[in-house]
Every structure is written in structure tokens, then in C-alpha cells.
Amino acid sequence: MPGMAEWKLEGTNDERQEFKYVGTWDHPGRQSWDMTSGAAKYPTDLYREGQLYAMCLRSPYGHAKIKKLDISEAEKIEGVKLILTYEDEEIAAMPKYIPSYFTFGQSPLLGTEAEFEGDEVGCVVVAETEEICKKALDYVKVDWEVLPFILDCREAGKPGAPILRPEMNPDSNMTGNTFGAAVKWENGNVEEGFKEADYIETIEYGRPMWSQFRSMPAAYFSYWDDDPWGNPDGEKMCYVTNHAHFPSNGPLVSAFQGMGLHEDKVRALSPYMASRYCDFVEKRGAQLSPVLSKRLGGVPVKMVNTRRQAFDAAVPETYFTIRIGFKEDGTLCAVHCKNVHQSGARGGYGDKTHGHLVLPPNAQAFKSTSCPNIYSEMEYYVTNGACTTADPGKDMWEPVNLTFAKIADTLGMDITDVIMKNVIITQPSLEACMEAGKKAFHWDEKWHLAGKKVLPDGRLHGVAARACWSMTWGMISYNINLRLNTDGKVYMPYSEALIGTYWPDAVQLVIAEEMGMKPEDVIVYYAANYPNWQKGDAADRASTCTWAAKEAAILLKNRVLSAIYMYVGAASPEEADIVDSMLTLKADPSVQIPLVGLGQFGEGFCGKPSVPFQSDVVRTMNVDFCEVAVDPETGLVEILDYTAAHDFGKVIRPASAMGQLEMALTMASGRALREEIIWDPNTGVLLNGNMYDYKVPTALDQPPMDNVAVETRCGGGAYGSTGVAHAHTNAGLVGCAIQNATGGDFITMQPFTPDRVLAALGKIKKEG
């Protein structure tokens, strides 16, 4: 199989077969106690003596420019402490690009042009209360120039469309992408491939903007005070709340880079920032709140956003047109894939200063099929439809899975057979997932030809399956610092905020495994003021982080044994061991002494495995299965069963690994059936930016799940582990199951709402 021959587990002890702690349950997360009791403090919880509030002026228009701004009346309001405008020299001088690898979206921190409704522009008010902030903003006189806006990326690409960001691209609304992925590429010869095909079909597929909104509406709390460990030349310490995961580290980076500070003079106040789902969107408060506090003498300033104002972390819209050629036996032989993608109001994903586009949906995943002839053409367009974030799932697999569903439906084949016939390079992972998933889902009892099964209650029954990569993300190195203290415990600090993946707790198990320590004697702890220490984070990268932790633990164990082996009467380090946090003699395990008081030893490891970041060489797969019931009278869809068979490579911490699956499938079900950001096409105003009108799944909506962990040891993380959540938040599978139920056309636009289902059943007219 291509690619497999060169690959092997790398690093020390990666082929370990016996595990005492890794892969076991009942290890409560270190932060779980406080998160449950409410002792954990999130930015919205913080309140401090003398605290002030800050809010930005926001655009009421879909696209507009400030011609004139008058803050004189607002400044007179009692309780207003400070108003800064776009003309303020310090704000105007703050870097536009932070961190430096965000290469698009050249918006100023506080500019005059609002690129979507609700965009923060013009001025920021600091006052004693939120109410005074709102009142002051009402008194700011703004002379707006309303500009043409575009919400649909397909419109942005049409000839003659208004150029929305001429400073980025004066000729069109098209933007680039972060990693420089080719806009057009071809493998083989597509036209020749179509000549070989027995069937040629066309697939249309569209996805709206979804809100990725973090559970906590963004709030940025900052103040300045003395550094308790030293104030060289009187420098102050900037205390800020932490928001972004991933190396950008959000406000921390913004604070020290934006204001010319060194990183040691910025301290995060709390490891808690609530959820992020590969979401990098920050509001302006991330960078403004430290500045506002500083300008007021260091008093605490909390910059707040309502839910409505923090609804713009949006998953971008995407439209595909795919022409496929396949043979009588279901073998794919030609793909012509074109997609139009929205890159958001900032020309990428990220906040108003950041623009960033990572691997949007495209035909990349077809490279994991045996199809030799693939043509891909991508277009990314800036719009006025809010800031966009990363694509939630491995969107490259949506067109592939729709292709398989189309082949299966056309030929009357079982879609799992079509998957197995066409997907390559991922064995044994795909086969293992398919077998485990089919068994858990009872696929063989449930599958039928499209439109052929009616449930006793009159609803139409349908099932579908889809495959995807289980990716290991490891684009950054991991910086692990371990210390065996004189108290006999191993310590590892980290400085990254938490988003719910439990990666520190997974790391704890790996260190315990390799060191021979009990898990409770391995303390992986949050150290707010150590920016040089580990900032590992998201679910997928957690596996890579555990790999680096493993390397560090092995180094430390060797160092410790080299120094203290003689205490148990061993003649060399090789004759001694650490078992259950005790120094022992291999030849006589009854000889044990505690590690307490034997010295202090440290080791560090900074690096990462040569994991497959590029998505065309991923070796671990997953297969999801979905069963639906469709009411032919109302078009209402109920998900009866949703099962993921995920190849984790090696499960490190089962509770959180399976939790990530539950999160992703629940999110996918919401996106499939009801989630959609709706903008007024006449005004560009967001219509459903609240939790009543934008419907996320509740406890009653969560589909039944019977997920299965597959372990092939084929990943790039510790012991061959790999990532989780990115792979499952694609909504297309539900649509394929609906088509299997109705026997009609595939619904070409998500979400699969009752009106679209009824249209597919021919009971009402199709949209558009």
C-alpha cells in the first residue's frame, strides 16, 4: 500500500505492549473538581475592586465606513472614564498581524471600516458599569457611509461584484490560504478518466455558515500590577485572561507583542476560558483590554460582549460541484471537483486583526482513494458574513463520501462496499474501523436499498456510512519540562488555557506509565507565569503532546536511576527500577524505598514526532454510521442511531477520548438538522444570533450513540495514538441516510430541515 512501507512507530517505547495506566478509566481530571463545583473562575466571573467595563462601537450595517465620529457628548456622561478612538496613536500603532503567521486580513485593531454587521470599529468606551458604556455609545455621533455588502461567497465571485477588500486584492474578492495550498491541481488525466467511466454523475453540495460560538461570550479582563518576583527598572506585570488555545495564546501574545512587552511580563489569570472548537476568533477586547487598563493606571478593565455580539465565530459556507466517473463495479475513475468557499469578512479565519485560512474543503481526500484522475479547483472569497473560523470536520471527506453515496445509490450497492472498494493507503485502520463499526451499529441488519423500508409507525427508514481520516495534528513542537521533586512526586507545568480535551490528564497517564509512578504522584499543573512551558491544547494535538511527554519521562527516569540506583543495592542503573513510585531492585522487587528525599532531578524534551500533518498521508481512519427515521408527512428527521468507530491508534485516556466523539457527533447532528446562521439579504444584519433562534442540540436532541474505540497503533502520537474530534463534525452523513430513507434526490443544501426533506419527497417545490 502506498505510504505504508516507509512508516513505523517512532520514538522510545512507542511499541510498548503492557500498560498499567494508559488506556484505563477512572482518572478524574485535575480541573474537574473546580469545574463542577463552580470554583473555577472564567473571565466572565472575575470581579475585582475598582473594576471598570469596556465596550466597542459596533456597526449597524453589513458593510460601512465611518466618515465622522464625535465623542464629545459621550465623554460628558457621568461614570465614563475613557474613550479611545481609531485616531489614538497607541492603538493605531499596534501591530496589525499577530501572530506573524496570520498573513491575511489586514484590518487595523480599531479602524473606520466595518466589515460585517456588529463589527467593532471607531471607538471603545470604558465606564463604571456596562449600562454606562451602552449609554455612552448611544451618545457617540457617527456619520456612516453605507457600503455595498455581499453575504454569499458565490455572489462575491461573480464578475462585477463589488470589491470588498481592495487592500488585500484590488482585482477580485478572492483571497489566498495560509499554507499556500494550490488553488488548482490535477492528478492523472481527468478527461481520459471520464472516457473510461461506465457512469458519469454530478453532485451538488452546499453548507451554510454555522456558528462555532464558544460557550462563554468573550470577555477580556486585564489589569496591571507589580510583579511579585521582580520589577526590573520598575516594569509592571500585565494580568490578562486567556482565551485562545493553540500557540497564538490569544491575549497573552497580543498583550506582549502588541505593547512591546516581554512575555515574562504577561500573566494569565485563569486556565479556564470555556470552549473552543478549532475556533480562533477573538474580539478586539483581546488586545484592547490591557491597553485600556494601562491607560487608566492599571485598574481592572473587563471588556464584555453579549451573546449576540459574540456570535460571529462562524464556520464558513462552502459549495461544491463534483462530476464523477465510475465503473460498473463501483470503482471511481475520474473526479472533477470545483468548490467555492467563503473566507469570511477578514479574508480568512480569525479575528479582526487576524486572517487565516487553513485547508478548506477541497478535493484533497480523493487522493486517499484509488481514483487516478482527480482535478480540483478551489475559490475562496471574502464576504461581509462575519469572522470565520476553522472548518470543523475534515471537510475534504464530504465530497468523497457524497461520491460514494451516489455510486452506491446508482448501482444499488452497499455503501460500505463502495468505501472499501475505493479507499486506499489507510489499511489496516479502515478495515478495522469498518468491521468494528458495522458490528456495533448492526449494519448488516439495518442496510437496505434506498426507499425500501418503512417503519411500523409509517416513517421512512434510512441508513448511511461514511469514512474519514483520524488526523494527528503536530505542527508545533511540544515543550515538556519534568522534575522529580524531593517530595517524591513528578511535576510538569503547563501554561495553556483549557478547552475541555483533558490533554494534561492524558499526559499525566503517559508520564506515570513511563516513569513507573502512580498517577497521583504525577502532578501536571497550570503555571500561569511560565510562558515558555507547554502550551499543548486541542484534542488532535493532545496525542502529539503525549508523545513528547513520553520522551521526557523516559529521559527523566534514566537520569533518576543513574543517580540513585545504589540506594537499593543495585550495581548499576539497569538493575534498578521505579515501580508504583518506589525505587526497587529488579532482581528482588520486595526491596523498595520511596523516592522522597532522594534528590531533585529535571529533564526536558522539546519536539514532536514526524507526524503526518499533510492530510494525504494520514494512516488512521474512522467510519461513522447513521440511522434515521423520516416522517413523510412533516419532513421531520429523527436520528435513531449514530455510531462512530474511531481509530485512536492507541487510546490514552478513554473518558476524554470517547467524550470527544460524543461532542463531535452531537455537534454534527445539530448542524445536520437545524443549525444555520441567517443574515437578512436586504440589510446584511444577523437575524438569529441568539440561543432561541439558533438551535443547538439539547439533552433531548442528542442522538443515541454507540461509539467504538479502534486501536491499530498507526498514529503519530505516543504509542501510535492519534487525534479525535476534527474528524466527526461533518453533517453530510445524515443527509445520505435521509436519501436512503426517501429514495429520492440527495438534498443539496444543509441543514436538512423539514422543508428540504419534503421537497426531496416531491411534496413541495424545491428552493431556488
Partner 1 sequence: MAQIPRREFLKAGTAALAGATLSALGLGSITASAEDGAAEKQVFVYTCPVCGKQFADFEQLRGHFTTKHKELDLPKTVTFSINEAEYDVFVEDHWTLREALIRAIGLTGNAKQMCDRGGCGSCTVLIDGKPALSCTTLAVECAGKHIETSEGIAADPEYRPLLEAYVRNDTAQCGYCTPAQFTMAKYILNKYDFAPTEEQIRLELSGNICRCGTYARHVKAIMEAAAEMKGGQ
b/e sequence 172-200, b meaning 16+ C-beta within 10 Å: bbbbbbbeebeeeeebeebeebbeebeee
Out of 5, 38, 229, 767, the residue judged to bind partner 1 by CB under 8 A: 38
**Residue 601 contacts residue 563 (beta carbons within 8 Å):** yes
Out of 474, 500, 516, 732, the residue judged to bind partner 1 by CB under 8 A: 500
The interface with partner 1 within residues 579-618 (CB under 8 A) comprises none
Cα–Cα distance measured from residue 414 to residue 436, given in angstroms and rounded to the nearest whole number: 17
Whose CA is closest to 296, among 237, 222, 234? Answer: 222
Shortest distance, position 642 Cβ to partner 1, whole Å: 11
Out of 9, 21, 22, 46, the residue judged to bind partner 1 by CB under 8 A: 46
Q: 243 or 619: whose CB is closer to partner 1?
A: 243
Q: Does 308 bind partner 1 (CB under 8 A)?
A: yes
Out of 114, 137, 611, 663, the residue judged to bind partner 1 by CB under 8 A: 663
Could you tell me the sign of the dihedral formed by the alpha carbons of 276, 277, 278, 280, in that order? negative
Applying CB under 8 A, which part among 25-33, 355-363, 408-416, 458-466 lies near partner 1? 25-33
Q: What is the DSSP secondary structure assignment for residue 765, as one 8-state letter? A: P
Q: What is the DSSP secondary structure assignment for residue 743, as one 8-state letter? A: -
Cα–Cα distance measured from residue 558 to residue 556, given in angstroms and rounded to the nearest whole number: 5
* Cα angle for residues 627, 630, 632 (degrees, 5° grid): 160
Cα–Cα distance measured from residue 265 to residue 214, given in angstroms and rounded to the nearest whole number: 28
Cα–Cα distance measured from residue 674 to residue 660, given in angstroms and rounded to the nearest whole number: 21
* Furthest-apart CA atoms within the chain: distance in Å: 85
The interface with partner 1 within residues 545-574 (CB under 8 A) comprises none
Shortest distance, position 37 Cβ to partner 1, whole Å: 3
**Residue 384 contacts residue 684 (beta carbons within 8 Å):** yes
Shortest distance, position 767 Cβ to partner 1, whole Å: 28
Whose CA is closest to 676, among 351, 212, 350? Answer: 212
- Counting residues that bind partner 1 (by CB under 8 A) gives 87
Whose CA is closest to 316, among 246, 211, 216? Answer: 211
Shortest distance, position 293 Cβ to partner 1, whole Å: 10
Whose CA is closest to 270, among 239, 224, 299? Answer: 239
Whose CA is closest to 491, among 609, 652, 600? Answer: 600
Q: 557 or 646: whose CB is closer to partner 1?
A: 646
The interface with partner 1 within residues 68-87 (CB under 8 A) comprises 75, 80-83
Shortest distance, position 717 Cβ to partner 1, whole Å: 19
Q: What are the C-alpha distances in Å from 54 to residues 61, 252, 293? A: 22, 19, 10
Q: 667 or 761: whose CB is closer to partner 1?
A: 667
Whose CA is closest to 479, among 557, 536, 540, 553? Answer: 536
Q: 198 or 235: whose CB is closer to partner 1?
A: 235
Cell numbers describing residue 23 = 488506556
Query: Taking CB under 8 A as the rule, which mask of x and - marks residues 206-225 in contact with partner 1?
Result: -------xxxxx-----xxx
Q: 57 or 664: whose CB is closer to partner 1?
A: 664
Q: 229 or 692: whose CB is closer to partner 1?
A: 692
Out of 155, 186, 204, 235, the residue judged to bind partner 1 by CB under 8 A: 235
**Residue 493 contacts residue 528 (beta carbons within 8 Å):** no
Shortest distance, position 727 Cβ to partner 1, whole Å: 15
In angstroms, the first-to-last Cα distance of the chain is 45
Shortest distance, position 489 Cβ to partner 1, whole Å: 13
**Residue 709 contacts residue 646 (beta carbons within 8 Å):** yes
Q: Does 727 bind partner 1 (CB under 8 A)?
A: no
168, containing H or E segment: none
Q: 296 or 611: whose CB is closer to partner 1?
A: 296
Distance of CA 226 to the CA centre of its chain: 36
Q: 15 or 693: whose CB is closer to partner 1?
A: 693
Shortest distance, position 213 Cβ to partner 1, whole Å: 7
Angle of helix 285-295 relative to helix 250-258, nearest 10 degrees, comes to 50
Out of 61, 491, 502, 547, the residue judged to bind partner 1 by CB under 8 A: 502
Q: 217 or 717: whose CB is closer to partner 1?
A: 217
Shortest distance, position 62 Cβ to partner 1, whole Å: 21
The interface with partner 1 within residues 460-499 (CB under 8 A) comprises 498-499
Q: 239 or 605: whose CB is closer to partner 1?
A: 239
Shortest distance, position 392 Cβ to partner 1, whole Å: 12
Torsion region of 514: left, alpha or beta (phi above 0 gives left; psi -120 to 50 gives alpha): alpha
Q: 319 or 494: whose CB is closer to partner 1?
A: 494
Cα–Cα distance measured from residue 165 to residue 108, given in angstroms and rounded to the nearest whole number: 13
**CB neighbourhood size of 202 (10 A):** 10
Query: Taking CB under 8 A as the rule, which mask of x and - marks residues 236-275 in contact with partner 1?
Result: x----------------------x---------xx-xxxx
Q: Does 730 bind partner 1 (CB under 8 A)?
A: no
Q: 273 or 708: whose CB is closer to partner 1?
A: 273
Applying CB under 8 A, which part among 2-10, 28-36, 172-180, 749-757 lies near partner 1? 28-36
Out of 250, 285, 361, 697, the residue judged to bind partner 1 by CB under 8 A: 697
Out of 63, 207, 294, 367, the residue judged to bind partner 1 by CB under 8 A: 294
E strand spans, 327-409: 332-344, 374-382
E strand spans, 536-600: 576-579, 582-585, 588-594
Q: 32 or 683: whose CB is closer to partner 1?
A: 32
Q: Does 764 bind partner 1 (CB under 8 A)?
A: no
Out of 37, 100, 590, 682, the residue judged to bind partner 1 by CB under 8 A: 37
Cα–Cα distance measured from residue 110 to residue 671, given in angstroms and rounded to the nearest whole number: 33
Cα–Cα distance measured from residue 1 to residue 316, given in angstroms and rounded to the nearest whole number: 35
Out of 5, 39, 170, 571, the residue judged to bind partner 1 by CB under 8 A: 39
Shortest distance, position 243 Cβ to partner 1, whole Å: 12
Q: 153 or 497: whose CB is closer to partner 1?
A: 497
The interface with partner 1 within residues 424-443 (CB under 8 A) comprises none
Q: 37 or 590: whose CB is closer to partner 1?
A: 37
Out of 105, 118, 300, 531, the residue judged to bind partner 1 by CB under 8 A: 300
Cell numbers describing residue 222 = 486585564
Query: Taking CB under 8 A as the rule, which mask of x and - marks residues 510-529 in contact with partner 1?
Result: ----------x---------
**Residue 488 contacts residue 765 (beta carbons within 8 Å):** no
User: What is the per-residue DSSP string for 662-691?
Assistant: HHHHHHHHHHHHT----B-TTT--BS--ST
Q: 75 or 377: whose CB is closer to partner 1?
A: 75
The interface with partner 1 within residues 47-66 (CB under 8 A) comprises 47-51
Q: 104 or 210: whose CB is closer to partner 1?
A: 210
Q: 119 or 675: whose CB is closer to partner 1?
A: 675
322, containing H or E segment: strand 318-326
Applying CB under 8 A, which part among 200-208, 444-452, 665-673, 679-687 lies near partner 1? 665-673
The interface with partner 1 within residues 623-662 (CB under 8 A) comprises 655-656, 659, 662
Cell numbers describing residue 678 = 441567517
Out of 166, 597, 691, 762, the residue judged to bind partner 1 by CB under 8 A: 691
**Residue 65 contacts residue 149 (beta carbons within 8 Å):** no
Out of 230, 700, 765, 767, the residue judged to bind partner 1 by CB under 8 A: 700
Alpha helices by DSSP H, listed for 272-375, are: 285-295
